[in-house]
Amino acid sequence: MSIPNEALQKLVQEIETQAITAQRDINVVKAALASKQRDVRMLELTSTEVNHLSEDTKVYEGVGKMFMFAPIHGVQKRLKSETMELKSDISNLNKKLHYLETTYKNSREHIDQIFKSSGR
């Protein structure tokens, strides 16, 4: 049983569109991953620096265009929670990246399969 050329062409176009969309989304996810990983490194560095300070050191946090005094343990807690949140986001982005890469690979394989079977 053979599929008409028009139907094959339409099928290939749909699969190609899916592959292009997956490739574009892969690039977006990779950029987001890089950004979040950079933020995690910055937070970890800041946390390390704050942990080396003595308890009586005054610490200030930026709020808009000004700085406000913040207790050192509050700053450490905020840094830790932000780091954990970013790591969770990174984990979710890695899952999404894996899904998109699989989708892209499968789309490419299906297109190759169609061309091989139509060449017979």
Q: What is the pLDDT of residues 39-86, one digit of tens each?
A: 999 999 999 999 999 988 999 999 999 999 999 999 999 999 999 999
Judge whether residue 7 has pLDDT over 90: no
Whole-angstrom distance, CA of residue 84 vs CA of residue 101 = 26
Q: Cβ distance 111 to 15 under 8 Å?
A: yes
The model scores a pTM over 0.85? no
Structural tokens at position 19 = 């592959």
Q: Which amino acid is at 18?
A: Q
* CA–CA gap between residue 101 and residue 25 (Å, rounded): 9
User: How far, in Å, CA of 58 to CA of 3, rounded?
Assistant: 75
